[in-house]
Every structure is written in C-alpha cells, then in structure tokens.
Amino acid sequence: MLRLYDTRHRQVEEIVPGGRRVLRMYTCGPTVYRYAHVGNMRSYVLADLIRRVTERHGVRVIACRNVTDVGHLVDDAEIDPTGEDKVLAQARQEGRSALEVARFYEDAFNADAAALNLRPPEYTPRATESIELMVELIAKLIERGHAYAVPGGSVYFDAASFPSYGEISGNRLDQLKPGHRIEVEPGKRFHADWALWKAAGGEARPEMTWETPWGRGFPGWHIECSAMSLRFLGDSFDLHTGGIDLRFPHHEDERAQSDAAAGHEVVAHWVHGEHLLFEGRKMAKSTGNVVHVSDVAAAGLDPLAVRLAVMEHRYRQQMNLTWETLRAADRTLRRWRTRVAEWAEAPSRPMAAEYAARFQAALDDDLDTPLALRVLRELERDESQPPGARFETFLHADHILALDLASEIGKLTPAPLPAGASELLEERAKARAAKDWAASDRLRAELAAMGVRVTDTPEGQVATTE
C-alpha cells in the first residue's frame, strides 16, 4: 500500500491499514481572493496523486476540499491572526461585493484545477455556507471547557486546555511569545489563545458577518476547516493534506479544535508538501515572480507541463521551478504523446510487467515521483520491449500521472510518400477496380520495395511509409 511521511509522527507510514477499502482525505482549499499561482497548485497536485495511487490499490477515496471565502485575515502567520479579511480587502480594491469576488476567483481556481487534471473531490463546502456548522462546533467547545466568550463578543479557544498542542509543528505553548500588538481584546486569558469567532465590533462591515449567541461577527480561519472536515468526513478520518506553510498555526489549531470536540484524535495522518520557489525566489506579488497556470498557457506551453515539472521532485522537497524547467517538461510531454501515438499503431502486447512493477513501487514508497518518471524514460529507450508493451505500460502509468499521454493517438501527420508512389497507388486502385489481382499484387510489391506499406480496408487502400 501507499506509504507517506507523516508530519506529526516524523516518519513514513502506511496510509491505509490492510483490509481497509475506503480512505477519507481532507485538503485545505483555496482562499478565493486572488488567482492561485503554480506554487499553490503544487499542494493540490499532491492530493490528486495520493488519490490516484490509492485508487490503483482498489481503495475508494472520499475527498473533501473546502473553499475559504471568509475569515482568512491578512496576518495569517500569527497564532491569532488580525487585520482585514483578504476577500473583503480585494473586494474593496476591485469595487465589487465580497461574494462576487469570491465566486470569480473560485471559478478561476476550478479552471486551473481542470487544466491540471485534478480530479474533483466529492465535497467542496464553502465557508460562507457552513456558518451554522461552525457555530455548533464553537458551542460544543465552550460546553466542554475548551473555549470561552469575552465581553466584546469574540470567542477564544483555550490553548492550555489541549496539552498535546504542538505535535505537528513542534511549537509548544510555553515557547510561543506574545505578538507585538498594542491592543489585546479584554477578557482574553492567554496570548496564544486564538479566536474561533470574531466580533464585528463597531466597524462598518455589512458583508460577511452573521448573528450568533455571542453577537454579530465572523468565523476565525482555523475553525472553518475543523467544522467542515468533521461534517463531511466524520470524527475519524485517514488523511489531512496541505502545504508546509499551513503546518503552523493553521493545522496545529485545527487539530486542537477537532480533537477537543471529538474527545479523541480525529486525523490519523498529516501530510505536507514543501514550498515551490520560482527562479530561485519565493513567489510573491512584491517580487514580481508570481506565475499562474494561465501564464504557462499564454507562453505557448501545455498547462500539464506544470504537473509534470512538479513531479520531477519529491513532494516534501523544496523545489525551484524555472521557465526552462517548464519548457523542458513541455518537450517531454509532446515527445511522450508522439511516442504513445506511434506505439498505438503496433500490435497489442501485455504491459512490460517489470517496468510497471517498478513504477508502482516507486509511487508506493512515499510518492517517489522522480524515480517513477525515470522508470518510464528507461522504458521509452528500451528497444527490446515491443511497441505494444510500451504503449500499454505508458497508458497504465498515465492513470496516475494524468498527463493525457494518449491525446495524440490518431493525429500523427503521415510522412510524405516517396516520388512515384502516388502514381503506383493510382494504378493499383484501377487494377483492383478491374479485379486484376495479379497486377494489384505486383504493384503492392513495388510499393513495398519503395518503403510504402499498403493496407486494404473497406473504404479503400491506405498507404503509410514504413
């Protein structure tokens, strides 16, 4: 079965125990206030690969990926983030409503996901449509002594009530220092407590606020994923994925909330993908090196070159993507599609079993995609393997790689016929119409000597160069 590196346990572990036939997986989805860049998409390619590899073992995957359209504040690196809601800030900048902005960028994300052949999850709940779930969860946490309301209308998680806080990231509560903020909301007990619900206060904020037993306000970012994962996957599921930047504080806080509500460990395995740099730097608007999937297509490259390029590195290794890397991946894609189309013309053969087994073993071993791709390159060069066997093996691999390797089948441009071949073909067509089979066979032999293979079909003769 598939083995992955568990961030919390600090080791590679089997993800689905023997005998299990269902895997439940949650992936933190996009915050829909801007276009996702290729670094963001690397995390979703990871989740898609996990799903595809798992399904090849006959295990059904039930996936949930949320849409964060409220509650993600600007200062998200802090344990208790502050600042303006990212969606609202973008809405003000664009002169549109927050929901218009959120739906626009949600649609853009879905288009990017489709371009990268990401299989849609079974559940894609939106935060704004899950407020009731969050309110119910917050009330449960208050009832169980893990959260408390303050006079201003906010509700905080009592971090000290969860003794195993820090097991994912290594950040222990006694080591966390207070942030450099001038104002702390009255009633907050401990600097590391974080808001489950934030009071709207006196600010002019007609959008993205809701009435609750504690007053009008909006949810904290972390409570959203707890509420949605518990609702759609249950209080015990197998796998939670996301980018390494979400490990702290988001996933640390999410684990505390979910486990405190359920009374036990909710997520069996936490798996994180590493950062993606572009041209040696972290992608950021300020540095001007943000690259979107649409930018790749605008450069004349297949968007799936992004998918192939990120698979050239192990998911938990930081990688540096460049335009040259993307162009090289695009060239590989086109070459493989051409080879698969050529091999499709050959007689069918069983898969190259040894190569297929090595390919699968590489993926099962903590998603070693670089090794899996090297196996395919080796098979591509192995002329001892019949074309039909290479065809079947590459198509088998593409069920996981999802690179559309069969897309050129039937589209190859035939090589030009040698001089004089067209005249012989015309003469042979007349001989066949006259039922002069001896002349037809003689002309076929002459064409074969020129390197032209003739196949007779119900629609007429078809000539190809050998």
- Nearest CA to 156 out of 165, 166, 146 is that of 146
Phi-psi region of 327 (alpha: psi -120 to 50; beta: other; left: phi over 0): alpha
Q: Which residues pair with 3 in a beta bridge?
A: 14, 365
Distance in angstroms (rounded) separating the CA atoms of residues 197 and 203: 16
Distance in angstroms (rounded) separating the CA atoms of residues 66 and 62: 13
Is 64 marked as a binding-site residue?
no
Query: What are the residues whose beta carbons fall under 8 Å from the beta carbon of 249, sequence distance 6 or more?
Result: 77, 78, 79, 169, 171, 194, 222
CA 150 to chain centre: 39
Is 28 marked as a binding-site residue?
yes
Locate 310 and state its tokens: 């990120």
Is 272 marked as a binding-site residue?
no
Helix (H) or strand (E) holding 242: strand 237-243
Cis peptide leading into residue 387 (ω within 30°)? no
Residue with tokens 């009008």: 216
DSSP code per residue over 60-111: EEEEEE-BB-S--BS-TTSSS--S-BHHHHHHHHHTS-HHHHHHHHHHHHHH
DSSP code per residue over 177-212: PPP--S---TT---TT-EEEEEE-TTS---SS-B--
What burial class does residue 82 get, using C-beta atoms within 10 Å of its C-beta: 0-12 exposed, 13-18 middle, 19+ buried? middle
Residue with tokens 């450099």: 180
Is 136 marked as a binding-site residue?
no
For β-strands 281-282 and 276-278, DSSP reports them as antiparallel
- Annotated binding-site positions for Zn(2+): 28, 225, 250, 254
- Annotated binding-site positions: 28, 225, 250, 254, 285
- Annotated binding-site positions for ATP: 285
